[in-house]
Structure 1
Amino acid sequence: MKYRAEIDGLRALAVIPVILFHAGFEQFSGGFVGVDIFFVISGYLITTLLIEDIENQRFSLFDFYERRARRILPALLLVMLCCIPFAWAWLPPQAMKDFSQSLLATSSFSSNILFWLKSGYFDSANELKPLLHTWSLAVEEQYYVLFPLFLLSLWRFGKARLFWIIAALAVLSLLLSEWGSRHSPTANFYLTPTRVWELFAGALTAFIVQGNGSKSNNALALSGLAAVVVSIFTFDENTPFPSLYALAPILGTALILIYANKDTYVAKLLSTRVFVGLGLVSYSAYLWHQPILAFYRHATVEQNTVTYIVLICVTIILAYLSWRYVEQPFRSRTRINRSRFFWLTSVAIISVCTFGIMGNASDGFAKKRNKTLFKDLAYNSSRLGYIKCPEALSKTTPTLDYCHGTSDKPNALLVGDSHADDKFYGIAKALNQYQWRLIGNPACPPIMGVNFEAANGIACTARLKKIFTFLENQKSIELVVLSFSHAYPLDSFVAADHVQSKHSPLDAVIEDIDDPLLSRVDTFYAGLERTLKFLQKLNIKTIITIDTPELTFFPVDCITGRISCHFLENDVLTRQIIHRGQLEKLATRHTNIRIYDPIDLFCKNKQCSILRDGHTLYRDSDHLSLYGSEYYGIDFAFWFDQQGQ
């Protein structure tokens, strides 16, 4: 097959947006389409080689698989082996177990299935998975295993008929992808049946070019490049993908392969030294970038653009080194013969899989660390035996994410957002003279008369109305505890989880229904005051909890010894100064409410810690662990009794 420099340039156009997208550069919001460009290129190149070998009667299935193994395995195994010591140093047991599973899945080219079962591609937690990107290698390898067999079995029908058979299968896969984007988006993203049409697009392109040669057509080549570039800069995580939207980068890539011959503007651009150089190391760059970014995110919360640029440069340097000293030697049968190649790769695969099996079987080597502390990071309230809410609350639209209790006839409610959810276990257990129910929704504070849409897009207004309507219709409720985050009306978040996810309080809509010109702070606490008046009218005892301290670090970082588990009380009070001041004003105006301050649970002599009695009180940077909830509940119950409630 004749070498085309523009194809290496096209690889660069694929890999750079992927890296920039994963590094969080928002301008490249559709950078993930780089993977789709790779799929088309792979389909094109593999099919071209297969057609030439079959037509010249030199095709060997074993030789084909060996060439694929030489192309993919050495650099991949090197990256996986290099990941292991960093994972050992930085990953907590659950993340280590997940990593161990991904080692096994990647080694068997089934990681796309593993990540499909685990989560969605755009989930923020996926930024922390070092081998997430190997899902695309799994799709390609599954294709490589089956496509030669498919081609051989149907070759007798002739190339023309074979072309249309592949075209029909591509259309079916595309239609399945369009359906999957609406009904099963995670499976649609990861699994081969809804991705294979992209590889088939490359195969069909190979039939066209192999039969007619590549053409020089500036208009069509530029159109293809424009379709790819527009996709990179306009698509984002809200774009259903893959789906009919994916036709833009797929057909754009096909147009470049067919019409961007060396005389076209596009070919000249893609054949420049920079593009070709990046294209040559694109496979290694793709392999290195995700582990580097993921381990950096595990290592620190404080992230900035300059550091990401440095990490991208490190990625390119490592990519060059692994291309020069691993990819190139292993692809040469004269430098590394067949027996040596299989011996070396077998040893590496056995080593990776052995570690993966041990890590999975030992729950991430939990016994070699402080198992109790790491166990505290897990949070699962579904096993606590709570009674589900009636369907009127939990099933009818809009649904509430939090709605369960200790009794189907409650006389006490804990109302709020996720900062109520994490305290319910402890309060309900410690103050068990009441029959409790938790009711609320993440990111939805209990404020009335406010148009509120959370920073993560959750529409809270209708949910809050549903909660207050339920309260108004209940005659048995004697006590309501309001618990919620204080950060909604502020200018920025400080909790490490929010900083990492790049959410901002300013992304939330907070508008007073009666007076839209009120400031965000005044609107928020005016809404809270309406809630208090509403509860007072119903003659319900009301308690507001001052928010627990937010952490500027992740608990796992202090558990693993990377940073201190301690922080200053003054820093907490400074961050909460608006919250505390506003609650103090409300308490002055409404003497029938009580305010519970948990600061002394975490802070002694101006020093604070998330550790108590061999346990961690937090499961992340702003939510309590189950142990922390129980610890909180005991103090809350003691305070409650002291109030004479």
Structure 2
Amino acid sequence: MFFVISGYLITALIAREMAEDRFSLWRFYERRVRRIIPALFALLVVASVAAWFVLFPHDFRRYARSALAAAFFGSNFQFWSVTGYFDVAAFQKPLLHTWSLAVEEQFYLLFPAFLLALRAARQKTRIAAVGVVFLLSLALSIWGVHTRPDAAFYLVPFRLWELMAGALLALGLVPEPRSKVLAEAASLIGLVLIGCAVLFYSDATHFPGAAALLPVLGTALVIYGGAEAGTFVNRALAWRPVVFVGLISYSLYLWHWPVYVFARYYLYRELNAGETVLCLALSFGLAVLSWRYVEQPFRRRQGGVPRRVLFGAAGTALVAVSVFAAAVLTSHGWPDRFRPEIRRILAEEHDTDGLLRYCFARPLSEVNAKDLCQIGAPGKITPSFLLWGDSHADAILPAVSDIAKKHHLRGYFAGESSCAPLIGVFRPDTPRCKTFNNKVIELAKRPEIRTVILTARWGKNADGRAYGDEGNGFVPISDAQAKAKRPADNAAIFARGLNRTIDALLAARKHVVVIASVPEVGWAVPQVLARTRLSGDGRPVFLPEEDFDFRQRVTRPLFHTLAARPGVMVIHPSDVLCGNGRCRVAMGGIPLYRDEHHLSVYGARKLEPLLTGIFGN
């Protein structure tokens, strides 16, 4: 909706000025600077002060990078570049919303010149040229949402068609409605389409792509019908409270998300109804102040801020943000803002074994006996075991390596992000997994490999949903027999994949060890522990064991069946981590996890007594 409205308004302005022979690129860009930059930098100043007091060091560093990106209208590239398995939750990103502002400004950097080049062309030619760009971008978006979903969401080429939809409307692709009845019908249909998208789209919807056609077309129809005087939409838009919200809409857009994020981050829980209302009221109040005392003085050319002062202030602000970001990054987020106890807790977020950083997610060309990392005892010992899995295998690697050293054994580690060791199972968000797992199973069949250890974030694949701070988005998997269309479909596909993998290993005469699920906590353990220490809250922090049991309702009976098979050993980390109705997240005040579900090195080594039987007597 935002892009369609923006494309319509700006294109209508450019087209009108071009028709009156008074359009100037310089004046257009000056208007954009007056409109966008002062309020944006006012937000960055206040948000940076809040970040100093609220954000922990690592998140403060992330914030500094995003502030720098926002200042140079590159937020979409910044957030696109860090999407992936180890990215943090949205509520830890105060400037996440600025990605859309970056898309808009990148578009307007070139679009006016594009229209100017078509100035002498007939209207039909201009519409055709814009229409071609619209269709190409739409096709790219439909393709990209399935093959490059992160890029399709954040980058201009994939979102261009939404802006072009508004531009086509402004250029007169569709003649003005001939009657009030037609205009009312268009607006009503548009509202229905937007309502359908709101009601029926979910985390499982591939967006934007073809799914975005519904809200884009709906918004275009509302604009089309609302332009007719006397219609319901026209009258609604002319209502004074709506007009006022429209006036402050840019500042409201800027402030609403940081206010929510800082409140959510500080409390580290979902806001209740009263807190949500308070955040909305605060956002509205800040937006009014920003509009009145920042936007208005800078937007007025006559009697407002002179051009020289405007551009001088903008340049100074860019330098200031750059210096601020550099200072935060070089100081590693100024950890000295917190007392030593807090810094020790937060250190577990990044306390990783040296092998973890180097050995995980190697290029597919290196998934072989020659190039994969070897763990366990040093020296020229022939590798005799294989640790295989996703990032949960990566997290438990230090413990497995320590035990192997005690047995004077050496082995391989094969780990890939989001790739559970399930032969023949495919996840659309991880296209590398099929090739990776096929290569690893061939390595596992080598005669010198006697033991194969399998572990992963089993629950996410079997249950079909993300968890906790990740939301509960659908995580579909498929195999040659079926493709999951809803979370419940994952269970059978998962079971076939795990059995298929174990059957192949047993047929190759391997001893198979399955390390069952580590309890998924659902919230960043070091941060929650640090926040409770800062607040003086002495209540214990733990995961209710019933939550873990519910998450394992698919995998637990499957693992029970596997444990009865000859040649298969199943180890349950919950035997150490859970008991008496609670799953521990810390021992001795030190986090057992480095985030929402990955064990820290400290946590992994607490499992060593449980893992000693992996290699037999």
The question of a shared fold, defined as TM-score above 0.5 by the shorter chain, is answered with yes
How far did residue 355 of structure 1 move?
A: 1.1
Question: Number of matched residues?
Answer: 578
For residues 278 and 75 of structure 2, the distance between their equivalents in structure 1, rounded to whole angstroms, comes to 28
How far did residue 458 of structure 1 move?
A: 10
Match of 2:254 in 1: 287
Q: 3-state SS of the aligned residue for 1:618?
A: coil
Change (3 A) 1:277 1:508: farther
1:153 aligns with 2:121: no
Match of 1:632 in 2: 606
For residues 182 and 387 of structure 1, the distance between their equivalents in structure 2, rounded to whole angstroms, comes to 22
In the alignment, which of 218, 223, 242 is matched to residue 189 of structure 2? 223
How far did residue 223 of structure 1 move?
A: 2.3
Match of 1:34 in 2: none
CA RMSD of aligned residues (A): 5.6
Change (3 A) 1:185 1:317: same
Kept in 1: contact 2:130–2:168 (CA 8 A):
yes
Change (3 A) 1:211 1:482: closer
Match of 1:328 in 2: 296
Match of 2:128 in 1: 164
Match of 2:482 in 1: none
TM-score (norm 1): 0.69
Once the two structures are superposed, the pairs formed by residues 98-497 of structure 1 within 5 Å of their partners are: 98-119=62-83, 125-208=89-172, 216=180, 217-260=183-226, 261-304=228-271, 306=273, 307-334=275-302, 336-338=304-306, 339-365=308-334, 374=346, 376-378=348-350, 383-385=357-359, 406=375, 410-412=383-385, 419-432=392-405, 433-437=408-412
Q: Provide Cα deviations, 1:14-71, integer angstroms capped at 9, x if missing partner.
A: xxxxxxxxxxxxxxxxxxxxxxx22222222222222333333433333322222222
Change (3 A) 1:438 1:264: same
How far did residue 293 of structure 1 move?
A: 2.8
Kept in 2: contact 1:181–1:243 (CA 8 A):
yes
1:78 aligns with 2:42: yes
Of the structure 1 ranges 321-330 and 37-46, higher mean CA displacement relative to structure 2 is found in 321-330
Kept in 1: contact 2:519–2:583 (CA 8 A):
no
Kept in 2: contact 1:224–1:256 (CA 8 A):
yes
Change (3 A) 1:121 1:140: farther
Amino acid at match of 1:557: Q
Kept in 2: contact 1:602–1:610 (CA 8 A):
no
Kept in 1: contact 2:414–2:440 (CA 8 A):
no
How far did residue 567 of structure 1 move?
A: 7.2
Of the structure 1 ranges 113-122 and 141-150, higher mean CA displacement relative to structure 2 is found in 113-122
Match of 1:620 in 2: 595
Change (3 A) 1:152 1:508: closer
Kept in 2: contact 1:567–1:609 (CA 8 A):
no
How far did residue 84 of structure 1 move?
A: 0.9
Amino acid at match of 1:326: V
For residues 565 and 224 of structure 2, the distance between their equivalents in structure 1, rounded to whole angstroms, comes to 75
Of the structure 1 ranges 295-304 and 414-423, higher mean CA displacement relative to structure 2 is found in 414-423
Change (3 A) 1:314 1:474: same
TM-score (norm 2): 0.72
Amino acid at match of 2:120: R
Q: 3-state SS of the aligned residue for 2:224?
A: helix
Kept in 1: contact 2:385–2:411 (CA 8 A):
yes
> Please, which runs of 5 or more residues in structure 2 have no aligned partner?
479-490
Kept in 1: contact 2:138–2:158 (CA 8 A):
yes
Change (3 A) 1:214 1:84: farther
Amino acid at match of 1:267: N
Change (3 A) 1:438 1:568: farther
Match of 1:557 in 2: 527
Change (3 A) 1:355 1:234: same
Kept in 2: contact 1:411–1:435 (CA 8 A):
yes
1:96 aligns with 2:60: yes
Q: 3-state SS of the aligned residue for 1:436?
A: strand
Q: Provide Cα deviations, 1:515-566, integer angstroms capped at 9, x if missing partner.
A: xxxxxx9xx99x9999999999999888787976765753342575554798
Of the structure 1 ranges 426-435 and 541-550, higher mean CA displacement relative to structure 2 is found in 541-550
For residues 301 and 282 of structure 2, the distance between their equivalents in structure 1, rounded to whole angstroms, comes to 30
Once the two structures are superposed, the pairs formed by residues 518-537 of structure 1 within 5 Å of their partners are: none
Kept in 2: contact 1:189–1:242 (CA 8 A):
yes
For residues 390 and 42 of structure 1, the distance between their equivalents in structure 2, rounded to whole angstroms, comes to 43
Kept in 1: contact 2:526–2:593 (CA 8 A):
no
Amino acid at match of 1:278: V
Kept in 1: contact 2:459–2:517 (CA 8 A):
no
Of the structure 1 ranges 269-278 and 129-138, higher mean CA displacement relative to structure 2 is found in 269-278
Change (3 A) 1:186 1:502: closer
Q: Provide Cα deviations, 1:166-215, integer angstroms capped at 9, x if missing partner.
A: 23333333333333334333223222233223223222222229996996
For residues 304 and 213 of structure 2, the distance between their equivalents in structure 1, rounded to whole angstroms, comes to 41
Amino acid at match of 1:501: E
Q: Provide Cα deviations, 1:267-305, integer angstroms capped at 9, x if missing partner.
A: 334444454343333222221222223323322343155
Per chain length, whose mean CA-contact separation is higher, i.e. which structure has more relative contact order (CA < 8 Å, sep 6+)?
1
Match of 1:53 in 2: 17
For residues 366 and 561 of structure 1, the distance between their equivalents in structure 2, rounded to whole angstroms, comes to 14
Q: Provide Cα deviations, 1:363-407, integer angstroms capped at 9, x if missing partner.
A: 43457666776554235855445897999x979xxxxxxx97539
Q: 3-state SS of the aligned residue for 1:156?
A: coil
For residues 416 and 354 of structure 1, the distance between their equivalents in structure 2, rounded to whole angstroms, comes to 42
Kept in 2: contact 1:610–1:617 (CA 8 A):
yes
Amino acid at match of 1:331: R
Q: Provide Cα deviations, 1:575-628, integer angstroms capped at 9, x if missing partner.
A: 78999x9999999999x979787988999xx9977477x975421133222354
Change (3 A) 1:602 1:331: same
Change (3 A) 1:499 1:151: closer
1:62 aligns with 2:26: yes
How far did residue 353 of structure 1 move?
A: 2.6
Change (3 A) 1:584 1:48: closer
Kept in 1: contact 2:444–2:452 (CA 8 A):
no
Q: 3-state SS of the aligned residue for 2:229?
A: coil
For residues 182 and 501 of structure 1, the distance between their equivalents in structure 2, rounded to whole angstroms, comes to 20
Kept in 1: contact 2:544–2:583 (CA 8 A):
no
Kept in 2: contact 1:376–1:616 (CA 8 A):
yes
For residues 593 and 401 of structure 2, the distance between their equivalents in structure 1, rounded to whole angstroms, comes to 18
How far did residue 428 of structure 1 move?
A: 1.3
Q: 3-state SS of the aligned residue for 1:431?
A: helix
Change (3 A) 1:406 1:586: closer
Change (3 A) 1:293 1:436: farther
Of the structure 1 ranges 166-175 and 206-215, higher mean CA displacement relative to structure 2 is found in 206-215
Match of 1:499 in 2: 468
Q: 3-state SS of the aligned residue for 1:622?
A: coil
Of the structure 1 ranges 100-109 and 56-65, higher mean CA displacement relative to structure 2 is found in 56-65
